[in-house]
């Protein structure tokens, strides 16, 4: 033990702690300064940044024995407070720098430290600083953060006022389309918003801390689990195994496709008979402290008989591969696509045909915040589970039978989430904390390390694709043939739906009358497949967008003009045979054309024999909604203080559910001129909110937005008097008029049939991505110099949210194109190892242009946006590499050695 006097945020604070405790933990746990976040815990993300004696430090790797007496420390709490924001914090709000906000305090402190040293940094200085200090952000694409630092510096130099910083924030009138900041912004920039791990520290003293016993092999039979030694370890209350679970001990995938050969009951809560993948949970140790729980977890003895592990779809599809789930074939679902006429004669007679094999891999989500959650019984005896879930009602139904708890007896709450990017469309630790709470009858808390986050949550499912296209000599597409295999890992949940995406999105954006194809879902022993932003479109469209480039070359046409010739126009239908709801692609391409010509000119001018420049484009399309009659409910209630509250489950990954709900309600209530400051949002607690549905498929703005609009319109109608004025709350009460309005909306859509045909989505998002790249010939290293995106997401509801979605998604697409992977479980288990893009890997030059076609079904004309920027920009980068140096990458990521191998061929 040691005692230290530290000078923290201007005052002396005494701490007494273990020698080997980290400074991050001491600041968080001993001093309650939870702005210091623990993301990677390994010095790779900067979320634990503080200023130590005037220098920026990552505190997760500093042991207390190395911290001297009277060390001066500044945390985000000391940079500024909600009442007295520092210019850096204000600028962060003005530029939408805090999306999920988990990285934000670390960036605020980092920027503050930079500005202590240099009040006149260039943009490049700021980027260098973030790179050098490993400040990682997964949401924003960094550009808005650099904008914020530049503005803050201008305020500090006295060249700009604080008011000028906030000049784009409306103080009255409509807020649609403006830079009105999200309600959680102030808490995020001051580090005062409590995420799961922060709430965990503040739980009652009798809370048990959990540690998992996990598999270290990918496929095995369990012979025995011996917990006896662990049970005797210091502080241990109980070691929970499958034997303690009251229900079916399975998470159900809620399979809806009748042709699925599995039954959806394949994922154990705690493994009983078999291990299906690396990291599978075998037992949960519940103890008084996390350290005790982890020490005891080491002592649980698991005897296994290892089985052959099938780590990819082709391996699991071999004739002699054993069934991973005995009784269910490894290929458990097949989805066909059949549109128009048989393609065989078309391919025979076409002027030009082309074919390619493509692979998009196991992209890891890499939120900075690792998975975390807790469970307790409330005073009504209900099991309350808090997590990062982005599908609270859905997840309750998926875990209730496995736990053996009545669905009505489960309350699910979403904690502020530090990014999910879709991995939380699947339950992760919800059933684990539920089981531990039920087995111990105590509150329980479980916090994954970043290693656990990476190795034991779902990943993007790799697609192995073969696509063929037939065209006439003028470039008109005549037919397409497709074949795709989806490696969905061992658990089937939503695997059939994902496979359907191949039918819906290979070739999306183009008028192709005749399509034939087949896709299949394959069970493997690699990481289970979960939703990931774009959900099937980054795989599907990569194949068709790279093939379109190859076709253009074969035809001797410009890739943009080939696309222009074939994009949806009136009379065209999507690959599922649906009429697009708007026809904005020609306008999008017309808008991009001059930019494209400029980019090509720039590439020609800047190319050198050592560093070749190139330009690539790709088209992106994705649906906003879950397939078919997707629906949502939302309530709006007027209260005695004259405020209204919006109630729904618009789950927040970090994208801005709060600002989305607020803006939509404000617009719906506009006939009353209701001020935005008087609208509150109460989101994501199943005991309080009607079911808005999960935040997947970029559906919330459209589907929940329509429900909010309906509730708002109902409230306006209820409050309207005959003379056109509006009742007050008291008058409503006196006249027995309900003060809570209920809104519901169901998309007028149909599910796709066995041939992949139907009208699955009411609204789509459309975009064209233009990448300018350079390739270093000696090393094969690719740099994206500029990204331009022309997007149609309908009416832009909030400019900061939409720009933020676009920048952040583009950054993830660059990562997908060039570096990110989770194939090698060991190598890819850290942020650096998995190719996380830091500031300098993302271009500062990103240009966004919107074509706002009002959507007939969208609320106030809005479509979604969240996934559009990760549909296909990676194909633009890959097409740019080809344009630069003639190397065609067909399997991602385009690592330097792959490009170099191509150059050497
Ligand atoms: N929006 C808007 N105008 C539009 C469309 C949307 O202002 N025309 C705003 C919305 O109000 C919302 C945001 O943009 O704040 C995204 O809206 P939408 O496209 O409807 O998507 P959802 O709210 O359903 O969010 C989910 C979507 C998905 S599926 C993933 S995955 C995802 C994403 O959004 N994960 C994210 N964006 C993310 N952003 C961050 N920072 N972190 C994640 O984990
Ligand atoms: Fe400390 Fe990531 S650098 S938590
Ligand atoms: Fe940076 Fe989410 S805002 S990680």
> Per residue, what are the HEC states of 642-684?
CCEEEEECCCCCCCCHHHHHHHHHHHHCHHHCCCHHHEEEEEC
Among 3.30.365.10, 3.30.230.10, 1.10.287.610, 3.40.1280.10, what is the CATH number of 579-624+755-905? Answer: 3.30.365.10
Ligand 3: centre distance to CA 47 (Å)? 10
The residue annotated as part of the active site, out of 77, 820, 867, 897, is: 867
Q: Find the mean pLDDT for residues 681-685.
A: 98
> Residue 722: what pLDDT?
95
Q: Find the mean pLDDT for residues 278-297.
A: 98
Q: Angle of helix 537-555 relative to helix 559-566, nearest 10 degrees?
A: 110
Q: Whose structure tokens read 């209530």?
A: 669
Does 105 sit in the ligand 3 pocket, CB within 6 Å? no
pLDDT band per the 50, 70, 90 thresholds, residue 731? very high
Among 3.60.15.10, 3.40.50.970, 3.40.50.720, 1.10.150.120, what is the CATH number of 1-174+185-192? Answer: 1.10.150.120
Q: Find the mean pLDDT for residues 454-476.
A: 98
Q: Find the mean pLDDT for residues 771-787.
A: 98
Alpha helices in 190-289 (DSSP H): 196-201, 228-231
CA distance between the termini of the chain: 61
> Residue 279: what pLDDT?
98
Which residue is closest in CA terms to ligand 3's atom 1? 137
Does 842 sit in the ligand 3 pocket, CB within 6 Å? no
What H or E segment, with its residue span, contains residue 471? strand 463-471
Q: Which runs of E-coded beta strand occur in 734-828?
A: 740-746, 764-776, 782-792
Ligand 2: centre distance to CA 133 (Å)? 10
Q: Which among 47, 136, 197, 198 is the best mutation to test ligand 2's pocket, defined by most ligand atoms within 8 Å of the CB?
A: 47
Question: Ligand 3 atom closest to Cα of 418?
Answer: 2
The residues with which 333 forms a beta bridge, in sequence order, are 521
Q: Relative to the alpha carbon of 368, which ligand is closest?
A: 3
The residues with which 449 forms a beta bridge, in sequence order, are none
Ligand 1: centre distance to CA 804 (Å)? 9
How long is the chain?
A: 905
> Residue 706: what pLDDT?
98
| pTM beyond cutoff 0.95 | yes
Backbone angle region of 420, left / alpha / beta, with phi > 0 → left and psi within -120 to 50 → alpha: alpha
Ligand 3: centre distance to CA 98 (Å)? 6
Q: Find the mean pLDDT for residues 499-512.
A: 98
What is the domain class of 631-746 according to CATH? alpha beta
Q: Relative to the alpha carbon of 40, which ligand is closest?
A: 2
Cα angle value 873/535/325 (rounded, 5°)? 135
Does 45 sit in the ligand 2 pocket, CB within 6 Å? yes
What is the phi/psi pair of residue 565, to 5°? -65, -30
> Residue 258: what pLDDT?
87
CB-based contacts of 541: which residues, under 8 Å, 6+ apart?
Answer: 505, 506, 508, 509, 618, 619, 620, 621, 871, 872, 875
pLDDT of 656-678, one tens digit each?
999 999 999 999 999 999 999 99
pLDDT of 2-23, one tens digit each?
999 999 999 999 999 999 999 9
Beta strand 611-623 pairing with 764-776: antiparallel
Does 41 sit in the ligand 2 pocket, CB within 6 Å? yes
Which residue is closest in CA terms to ligand 2's atom 3? 43
pLDDT surpasses 80 at 255:
no
The residues with which 50 forms a beta bridge, in sequence order, are 57
The answer to whether the beta carbons of residues 5 and 793 sit under 8 Å apart is no
- For 581-616, give one letter per residue: b (16+ CB within 10 A) or e: bbbbbebbbebbbebbeebbeebeeebeeebbbbbb
Does 46 sit in the ligand 2 pocket, CB within 6 Å? yes
Q: Find the mean pLDDT for residues 420-426.
A: 98
What is the Cβ-side half-sphere exposure of residue 401, based on CA atoms within 13 angstroms? 14
Q: Find the mean pLDDT for residues 807-819.
A: 98
Q: Relative to the alpha carbon of 25, which ligand is closest?
A: 2
Residue 783 to residue 91: CA distance in whole angstroms:
29
Residue 189 to residue 210: CA distance in whole angstroms:
30
Domain boundaries, the chain: 1-174+185-192, 208-308+386-456, 579-624+755-905, 631-746
Q: Find the mean pLDDT for residues 578-586.
A: 98
pLDDT surpasses 80 at 710:
yes
pLDDT of 164-203, one tens digit each?
999 999 999 999 999 999 999 999 999 999 999 999 999 9
> Residue 257: what pLDDT?
86
Question: Above pLDDT 70, what percent of the chain?
Answer: 100
Q: Whose structure tokens read 């005897």?
A: 303
Residue 14 to residue 206: CA distance in whole angstroms:
26
Does 103 sit in the ligand 3 pocket, CB within 6 Å? yes
Q: Relative to the alpha carbon of 46, which ligand is closest?
A: 2
pLDDT band per the 50, 70, 90 thresholds, residue 568? very high
| CA-based nearest residue to 469, from 543, 538, 574 | 543
362 burial via Cβ count (<10 Å: 0-12, 13-18, 19+): buried
Does 140 sit in the ligand 3 pocket, CB within 6 Å? yes
728, 732, 738, 744: CA torsion to nearest 10: -30
| CA-based nearest residue to 802, from 96, 88, 55, 19 | 96
Question: Above pLDDT 90, what percent of the chain?
Answer: 99
Does 801 sit in the ligand 1 pocket, CB within 6 Å? yes
Residue 313 to residue 311: CA distance in whole angstroms:
7
Does 368 sit in the ligand 3 pocket, CB within 6 Å? yes
| CA-based nearest residue to 355, from 562, 546, 616, 521 | 546
The answer to whether the beta carbons of residues 890 and 356 sit under 8 Å apart is yes
pLDDT of 519-545, one tens digit each?
999 999 999 999 999 999 999 999 999
Ligand 1: centre distance to CA 695 (Å)? 8
pLDDT surpasses 90 at 443:
yes
Q: Relative to the alpha carbon of 538, which ligand is closest?
A: 1
Residue 866 to residue 128: CA distance in whole angstroms:
28
| CA-based nearest residue to 533, from 95, 42, 100, 860 | 100
Does 684 sit in the ligand 1 pocket, CB within 6 Å? no
The residues with which 337 forms a beta bridge, in sequence order, are 517
pLDDT band per the 50, 70, 90 thresholds, residue 106? very high
3-state helix, strand, coil in the chain (%, to 5): 35, 25, 45
Question: Ligand 2 atom closest to Cα of 368?
Answer: 2
pLDDT surpasses 80 at 256:
no
H and E: helices and strands count for the chain: 26, 30
Q: Which among 655, 662, 860 is the best mutation to test ligand 1's pocket, defined by most ligand atoms within 8 Å of the CB?
A: 655
Domains 1-174+185-192 and 579-624+755-905 in one fold: no
| CA-based nearest residue to 768, from 855, 625, 879 | 879
Among 3.40.50.300, 3.40.50.10860, 3.40.50.720, 3.90.1170.50, what is the CATH number of 208-308+386-456? Answer: 3.90.1170.50
> Residue 532: what pLDDT?
98
Which residue is closest in CA terms to ligand 1's atom 34? 866
867 among known catalytic residues? yes
pLDDT band per the 50, 70, 90 thresholds, residue 212? very high
Question: Ligand 2 atom closest to Cα of 43?
Answer: 3
Does 654 sit in the ligand 3 pocket, CB within 6 Å? yes
């Amino acid at each position: 033990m040691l005692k230290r006097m530290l000078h923290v945020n201007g005052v002396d604070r005494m701490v007494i702690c273990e020698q080997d405790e980290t400074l991050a933990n001491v600041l968080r746990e001993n001093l309650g300064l939870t702005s210091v976040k623990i993301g990677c815990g390994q010095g790779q993300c900067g979320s634990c940044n503080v200023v130590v004696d005037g220098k920026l430090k990552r505190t997760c790797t500093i042991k207390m024995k190395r911290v001297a007496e009277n060390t001066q420390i500044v945390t985000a709490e000391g940079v500024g407070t909600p009442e007295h924001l520092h210019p850096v914090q204000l600028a962060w709000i003005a530029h939408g720098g805090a999306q999920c906000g988990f990285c934000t305090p670390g960036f605020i402190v980092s920027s503050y430290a930079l500005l202590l040293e240099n009040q006149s940094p260039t943009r490049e200085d700021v980027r260098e600083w973030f790179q050098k200090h490993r400040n990682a952000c997964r949401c924003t694409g960094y550009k808005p953060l650099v904008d914020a630092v530049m503005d803050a510096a201008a305020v500090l130099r006295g060249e700009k006022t604080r008011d000028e910083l906030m000049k784009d924030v409306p103080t009255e009138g409509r807020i649609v389309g403006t830079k009105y900041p999200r309600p959680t912004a102030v808490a995020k920039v001051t580090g005062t918003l409590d995420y799961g791990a922060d709430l965990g520290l503040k739980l009652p003293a009798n809370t048990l801390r959990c540690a998992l016993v996990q598999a270290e092999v990918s496929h095995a039979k369990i012979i025995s689990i011996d917990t006896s030694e662990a049970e005797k370890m210091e502080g241990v209350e109980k070691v929970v195994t499958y034997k303690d679970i009251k229900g079916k001990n399975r998470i159900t995938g809620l399979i809806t496709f009748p042709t699925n050969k599995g039954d959806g009951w394949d994922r154990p809560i705690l493994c009983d008979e078999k291990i299906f993948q690396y990291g599978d949970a075998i037992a949960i140790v519940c103890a008084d402290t996390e350290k005790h729980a982890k020490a005891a977890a080491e002592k649980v003895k698991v005897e296994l008989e290892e089985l052959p592990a099938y780590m990819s779809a082709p391996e699991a599809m071999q004739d002699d591969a054993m069934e991973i789930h005995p009784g269910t074939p490894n290929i458990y679902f097949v989805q066909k696509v059949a549109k128009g006429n048989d393609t065989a004669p078309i391919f025979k007679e076409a002027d030009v045909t082309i074919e390619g094999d493509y692979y998009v891999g196991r992209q890891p989500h890499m939120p900075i915040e690792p998975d975390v959650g807790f469970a307790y019984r409330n005073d009504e005896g209900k099991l309350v589970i808090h997590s990062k879930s982005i599908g609270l009602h859905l997840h309750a139904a998926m875990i209730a039978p496995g736990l053996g708890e009545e669905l009505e007896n489960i309350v699910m709450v979403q904690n502020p989430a530090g990014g999910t990017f879709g991995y939380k469309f699947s339950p992760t630790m919800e059933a684990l904390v539920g089981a531990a709470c039920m087995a111990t009858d105590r509150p329980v808390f479980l916090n994954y390390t970043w290693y656990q986050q990476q190795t034991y949550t779902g990943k993007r499912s790799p697609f192995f694709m073969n696509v063929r296209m037939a065209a006439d000599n003028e470039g008109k597409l005549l037919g397409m043939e497709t074949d795709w295999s989806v490696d969905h890992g061992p658990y089937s949940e939503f695997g059939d739906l994902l496979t359907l995406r191949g039918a819906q999105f290979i070739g999306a954006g183009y008028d192709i009358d005749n399509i034939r194809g087949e896709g299949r879902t394959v069970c493997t022993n690699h990481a289970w497949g979960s939703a990931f932003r774009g959900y099937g479109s980054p795989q599907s469209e990569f194949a068709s967008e790279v093939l379109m480039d190859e076709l253009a070359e074969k035809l001797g046409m410009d890739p943009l003009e080939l696309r222009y010739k074939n994009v949806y126009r009136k009379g065209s239908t999507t690959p599922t045979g649906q009429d697009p709801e708007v026809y904005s692609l020609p306008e999008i391409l017309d808008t991009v054309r001059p930019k494209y010509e400029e980019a090509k000119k720039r590439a020609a001018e800047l190319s050198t024999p050592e560093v070749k420049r190139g330009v690539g484009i790709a088209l992106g399309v994705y649906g906003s909604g879950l397939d078919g009659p997707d629906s949502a409910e939302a309530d709006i209630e007027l209260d005695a203080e004259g405020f209204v509250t919006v109630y729904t489950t618009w789950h927040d990954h970090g994208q801005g559910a709060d600002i989305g709900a607020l803006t939509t309600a404000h617009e719906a209530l506009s006939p009353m001129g209701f001020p935005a400051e008087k609208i509150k949002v109460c989101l994501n607690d199943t005991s309080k909110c009607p079911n808005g549905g999960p935040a997947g498929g970029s559906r919330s703005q459209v589907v929940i937005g329509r429900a909010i609009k309906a509730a708002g319109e109902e409230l306006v109608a209820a409050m309207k008097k005959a003379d056109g004025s509006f009742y007050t709350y008291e008058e409503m009460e006196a006249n027995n008029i309900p003060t809570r309005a209920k809104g519901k909306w169901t998309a007028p859509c149909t599910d796709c049939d066995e041939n992949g045909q139907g009208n699955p989505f009411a609204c789509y998002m459309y975009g064209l991505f233009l990448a300018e790249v350079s390739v270093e010939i000696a090393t094969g290293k690719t740099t994206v110099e500029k990204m331009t995106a022309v997007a149609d997401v309908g009416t832009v509801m909030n400019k900061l949210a939409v720009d933020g979605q676009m920048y952040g998604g583009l950054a993830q697409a660059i990562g997908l194109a060039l570096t990110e992977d989770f194939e090698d479980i060991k190598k890819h288990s850290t942020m650096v190892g998995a190719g996380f893009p830091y500031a300098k890997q993302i271009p500062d030059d990103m240009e966004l242009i919107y074509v706002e076609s009002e959507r007939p079904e969208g609320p106030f004309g809005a479509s979604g946006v969240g996934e559009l920027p990760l549909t296909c920009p990676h194909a633009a980068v890959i097409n740019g590499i080809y344009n630069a140096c003639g190397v065609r990458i067909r399997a991602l990521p385009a690592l330097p050695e792959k490009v170099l191998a191509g150059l050497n061929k």
